[in-house]
C-alpha cells in the first residue's frame, strides 16, 4: 500500500496557486485594517485600569471564551456555539498545519510531515470537526429562521451590511465546498486509506459515474469557490457580526474584576458622548453576540417597558462605529463627549426602566456590564435634571431628611416602641453586632413588624446587638444606582461619621440593599469590618443551638432570592438552611438563586411610576411563578422591599388567599415558644 501523504494543490494549475497566495494576502491585509479600526475605536474611550492577574484572566478566557461556560443552562445554544467555534478553530488549525507542511517543510526542506498515520489522523480530525461545524451552522439556521425566538430579533440596524444570514451561508458554503473538493479528489485518486476521510469518502460515491476529466474539472471549480469564499470570509470578519469571535474573547479576557456589587467610579460625572465610556466598556459593546440572553431575563423588558439591554448595547456600539467612521472633527465637551450627547441613541425611558438587578450581566456570555453603562448614562440625566416628578421628589426628601419617606430622624427608631425590652444604643455602649436597620425596615409599617420579629429573635438568642437610632441615614445603595453620586457621597459621609463613633465588631442588616452598600460601596472606608445579612446570623445561631424552634413550621415554602443578596453577593445557602431548620419543605421556583427574577424595586424603580406600556409588573409575574409551584403555601422573603412589592402583587393578582408573603424572621418567630411570641 502506498504511504498516505497530503496532495497539496492536486489538480490546481500553477497560476491558481499564485492567485491563492495573492488572494490570501489581500484578505489578511483587509482583515488587519478592519481590526486596526476596531482597536482605534476602543482606544478612544477613557482610561481604566486593567485588574487581575494574567493567569486569572486566561482561566476566564478558557472557561467562558473557549468552552462557553455561561451557556450551560441552554443546551441547544451551547451545542451550537461549541460546534461552530471548535469546528472553525480546528479547521483553521488544520489549514495552518497544511500551510506549514507545504510552504515550509516541503518547499524549503523537501520534506512533508503530513504523511503516514499522522496524516490519517489529521484527515479524520478535519472531517469530524468539519461535520461539527455543519451541524452547528444548521442548528443556527433552524434557531434564527424557523424557531425565531423573540430574543434574537433586534430593532437596531447593524453598522455593517453583511448580516447573520449571509455569514451563515458563507460558512456553510466554505464547509460544504471543502467536503466536495475532498470527495472529488478521493473519487479520482481512490487511495486505500480513503475511509479515514469519512465525510469525503461517503460523498465520493456520488461522483463515481463521472469521467476523470469531469471530476478534475469539477474539482477545480469547487476548489476555486472554496478559496474565494474563505478569503471573503476572512476579509469580512472585522466588518460583520463575525467580529465578535475576536471582540468577545477580548471582552472576556478584560472583564472587570471588581466585586459585582460595587459601582464603578470611572464616570462619576456621567456619560455625555460615546467616548466618555472607558476603553473596556467600548470593547464590551463591540463584543456583543446579539444572543439576547440579557433581554430574556430582563424584568423591565418582560414587563413591556422600552428597555432591552441587548438593544441598548447594540445602539451604543453602532454609535461608536459611527463616531469612529465620521470624517468630521469631533467637537468634544469638557468631559470628552459630544455636546448633543447620547439622548438620541438611548432614551431616558430606557434608562429609567432598569432595576439594576444584574440578571443581564449574570447571563451575558461575554461579560458585558449592561447595568454599569446604564448607570453611567443615568448620572448625566441626573445632572441635567431629567428625573421625572416622583423620583425628583424622593431625592429631595432624602436630601432633606436622610430617608426616602420624608420622616424625621427622631422617628427612625420609633418601631422599637412595640418591644418590651430596650435595644442598646451602639453610639453609647459597645456591642458585638451593630444592626444597620435601613429605611424601609425603620419607616414602613408592614416592614416594622419584621424588624420587631428580628429584634425578638436576636434578643431570645442572647445576641449582643444595638442600633444607631437617629444617627443612621439611608445608605444610598439605590441612590447611587439612580445616578445621584453627589447625594450618595453625602449619605456615605454621614453614615461613616456615625459608624466611627460607635463601638462594634460586625455590622448586621435585614436589608440586602443596605447590605450591598455597606459591604461594597463603603468598603474602602470600612477597614475590613465584616458585614452580614441577618439570615447568616440566624443560621449561625441555629447551628450553635442558641436559637431553636419549639415546633416545626410544617409548611411548603418557596424562597425568593433578593438580587442584592444573591446575584450581587452570593448569599444563597443561609436563608434556605434557616427555613429547613424551621421544619419547612423548601420548593424552588423555576427561576432561582443566580437566575432569580427581580421584584422590580431596585435601582430606584420602587420610587417611580409604572410605564403606561406595562403588560405585567415584575412583582406580579414573580407572584404567579411562586403560586404555580405545586403545594406552596408561603413565599418567603428576606428583603424589606420584596415584602412590600410581593404583598402588593398578591393583592393585585388575586393570589392573596392562596399564597402568603412572609419574611423569614416572621416564620421563625411562629416556631418559637409561646413566651417569646407573647411579646408581639
Residue 369 lies in a domain: no
At residue 458, the pLDDT reads 98
Bigger pLDDT: 49 vs 575? 575
Which of 251, 273, 308 terminates a domain? The answer is 251
CATH number at residue 165: 1.20.950
Which of 251, 280, 298 terminates a domain? The answer is 251
Residue 230 lies in a domain: yes
Decide if 29 contacts 238 (C-beta within 8 A).
Answer: no
Bigger pLDDT: 111 vs 668? 668
pLDDT classification of 443: cutoffs 50, 70, 90: very high
- Count: domains in the chain: 2
Residue 300 lies in a domain: no
Bigger pLDDT: 421 vs 322? 421
Which of 232, 251, 270 terminates a domain? The answer is 251
pLDDT at 224 over 90: yes
At residue 1, the pLDDT reads 47
pLDDT classification of 331: cutoffs 50, 70, 90: very low
> What is the overall mean pLDDT for the chain?
91
Q: Is 72 left (phi over 0), alpha (psi -120 to 50) or beta?
A: alpha
Q: Which of 140-154, 331-345, 436-450 has the lowest mean pLDDT?
A: 331-345
Residue 140 lies in a domain: yes
* Three state DSSP letters for 519-548: HHHCHHHCCCCEEEEHHHHHHHHHHCCCCC
Q: Which of 267-271, 300-304, 458-462, 488-492 has the lowest mean pLDDT?
A: 267-271
Residue 260 lies in a domain: no
SS3 437: coil
Grid cell digits, residue 526: 470600612
Q: What are the residues whose beta carbons fall under 8 Å from the beta carbon of 177, sequence distance 6 or more?
A: 222, 225, 226, 229
At residue 70, the pLDDT reads 81
At residue 172, the pLDDT reads 96
Query: For 10-27, what is the mean pLDDT?
Result: 95
pLDDT at 334 over 50: no
At residue 326, the pLDDT reads 62
Residue 301 lies in a domain: no
At residue 674, the pLDDT reads 54
pLDDT classification of 183: cutoffs 50, 70, 90: very high
Query: For 530-538, what is the mean pLDDT?
Result: 98
pLDDT at 112 over 60: yes
> For the segment 468-488, what is each residue's pLDDT rounded down to a tens digit?
999 999 999 999 999 999 999
Query: For 404-431, what is the mean pLDDT?
Result: 94
> For the segment 35-72, what is each residue's pLDDT rounded down to a tens digit?
999 999 999 999 998 888 889 889 989 988 888 878 87
pLDDT at 679 over 60: no
* Three state DSSP letters for 548-577: CCCCCCCCEEEECCCCCCCCCCCCCHHHHH
Residue 405 lies in a domain: yes
pTM assigned to the model: 0.91
Domain ranges, residue 130: 22-251
Residue 280 lies in a domain: no
Q: What percent of the chain has pLDDT over 70?
A: 95
pLDDT at 517 over 70: yes
Report the alpha-carbon distance of residue 424 to residue 421 in Å, rounded.
10
Decide if 183 contacts 197 (C-beta within 8 A).
Answer: no
Bigger pLDDT: 598 vs 1? 598
Q: Which of 88-102, 177-191, 339-353, 557-571 has the lowest mean pLDDT?
A: 339-353
pLDDT classification of 297: cutoffs 50, 70, 90: very high
CA atoms within 13 A of residue 193's CA, in its CB half-sphere: 17
Query: For 649-660, what is the mean pLDDT?
Result: 95
Amino acid at each position: 500500500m502506498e504511504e498516505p501523504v497530503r496532495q497539496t494543490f492536486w489538480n490546481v494549475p500553477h497560476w491558481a496557486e499564485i492567485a491563492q497566495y495573492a488572494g490570501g494576502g489581500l484578505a489578511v491585509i483587509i482583515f488587519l485594517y478592519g481590526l486596526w479600526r476596531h482597536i482605534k475605536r476602543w482606544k478612544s474611550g477613557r482610561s481604566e485600569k486593567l485588574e487581575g492577574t494574567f493567569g486569572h484572566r486566561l482561566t476566564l478566557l478558557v472557561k467562558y471564551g473557549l468552552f462557553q461556560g455561561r451557556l450551560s443552562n441552554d443546551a441547544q445554544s451551547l451545542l451550537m456555539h461549541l460546534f461552530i467555534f471548535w469546528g472553525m478553530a480546528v479547521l483553521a488549525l488544520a489549514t495552518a498545519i497544511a500551510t506549514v507542511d507545504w510552504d515550509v517543510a516541503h518547499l524549503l526542506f523537501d520534506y512533508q510531515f503530513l504523511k503516514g498515520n499522522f496524516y490519517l489522523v489529521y484527515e479524520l480530525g478535519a472531517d469530524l470537526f468539519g461535520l461539527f461545524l455543519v451541524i452547528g451552522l444548521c442548528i443556527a439556521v433552524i434557531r434564527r429562521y424557523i424557531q425565531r425566538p423573540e430574543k434574537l430579533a433586534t430593532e437596531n440596524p447593524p453598522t455593517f451590511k453583511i448580516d447573520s444570514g449571509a455569514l451563515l451561508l458563507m460558512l456553510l458554503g466554505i464547509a460544504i465546498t471543502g467536503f466536495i473538493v475532498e470527495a472529488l479528489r478521493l473519487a479520482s485518486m481512490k487511495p486505500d486509506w480513503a475511509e479515514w476521510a469519512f465525510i469525503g469518502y461517503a460523498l465520493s460515491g456520488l461522483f463515481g459515474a463521472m469521467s476523470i476529466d469531469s471530476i478534475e474539472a469539477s474539482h477545480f471549480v469547487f476548489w476555486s469557490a472554496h478559496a474565494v469564499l474563505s478569503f471573503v470570509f476572512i476579509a469580512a470578519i472585522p466588518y460583520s457580526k463575525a467580529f465578535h469571535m475576536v471582540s468577545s474573547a477580548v471582552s472576556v479576557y478584560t472583564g472587570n474584576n471588581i466585586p459585582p456589587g460595587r459601582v464603578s467610579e470611572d464616570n462619576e460625572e456621567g456619560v455625555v458622548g460615546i467616548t466618555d465610556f472607558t476603553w473596556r466598556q467600548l470593547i464590551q459593546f463591540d463584543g456583543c453576540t446579539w444572543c439576547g440572553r440579557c433581554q430574556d431575563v430582563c424584568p423591565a423588558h418582560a414587563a413591556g417597558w422600552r428597555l432591552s439591554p441587548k438593544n441598548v448595547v447594540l445602539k451604543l456600539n453602532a454609535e461608536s462605529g459611527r463616531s469612529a467612521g465620521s470624517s468630521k472633527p469631533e467637537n468634544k465637551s469638557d468631559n470628552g463627549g459630544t455636546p448633543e450627547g447620547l439622548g438620541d441613541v438611548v432614551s431616558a425611558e430606557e434608562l429609567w426602566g432598569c432595576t439594576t438587578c444584574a440578571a443581564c450581566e449574570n447571563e451575558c456570555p461575554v461579560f458585558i456590564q449592561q447595568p454599569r453603562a446604564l448607570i453611567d448614562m443615568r448620572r448625566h440625566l441626573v445632572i441635567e435634571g431629567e428625573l421625572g416628578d416622583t423620583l425628583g421628589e424622593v431625592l429631595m426628601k432624602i436630601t432633606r431628611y436622610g430617608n426616602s419617606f420624608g420622616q424625621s430622624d427622631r422617628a427612625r427608631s420609633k418601631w422599637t416602641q412595640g418591644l418590651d425590652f430596650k435595644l442598646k444604643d451602639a453610639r453609647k455602649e459597645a456591642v458585638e453586632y451593630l444592626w444597620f436597620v435601613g429605611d424601609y425596615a425603620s419607616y414602613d409599617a408592614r416592614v416594622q413588624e419584621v424588624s420587631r420579629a428580628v429584634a425578638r429573635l436576636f434578643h431570645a438568642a442572647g445576641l449582643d446587638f444595638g442600633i444607631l437610632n437617629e444617627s443612621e441615614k439611608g445608605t444610598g445603595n439605590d441612590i447611587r444606582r439612580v445616578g445621584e453620586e453627589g447625594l450618595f457621597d453625602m449619605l456615605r459621609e454621614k453614615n461613616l461619621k456615625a459608624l466611627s463613633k460607635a463601638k462594634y465588631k460586625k455590622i448586621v442588616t435585614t436589608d440586602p440593599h443596605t447590605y450591598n452598600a455597606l459591604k461594597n460601596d463603603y468598603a474602602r472606608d470600612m477597614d475590613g469590618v465584616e458585614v452580614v445579612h441577618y439570615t447568616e446570623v440566624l443560621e449561625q445561631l441555629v447551628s450553635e443551638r442558641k436559637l431553636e424552634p419549639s415546633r416545626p413550621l410544617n409548611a411548603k415554602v418557596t424562597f425568593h432570592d433578593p438580587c442584592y443578596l444573591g446575584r450581587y453577593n452570593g448569599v444563597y445557602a443561609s436563608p434556605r438552611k434557616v427555613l429547613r431548620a424551621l421544619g419547612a419543605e423548601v420548593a424552588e421556583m423555576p427561576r432561582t438563586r443566580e437566575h432569580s427574577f427581580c421584584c422590580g424595586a431596585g435601582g430606584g424603580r420602587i420610587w417611580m411610576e409604572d410605564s403606561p406600556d406595562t403588560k405585567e409588573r415584575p412583582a406580579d409575574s414573580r407572584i404567579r411563578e411562586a403560586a404555580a409551584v405545586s403545594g406552596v403555601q408561603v413565599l418567603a422573603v428576606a428583603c424589606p422591599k420584596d415584602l412590600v412589592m410581593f404583598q402588593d402583587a398578591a393583592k393585585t393578582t388575586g393570589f392573596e388567599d392562596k399564597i402568603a408573603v412572609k419574611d423569614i424572621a416572621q416564620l421563625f418567630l411562629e416556631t418559637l415558644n409561646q413566651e417569646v411570641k407573647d411579646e408581639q
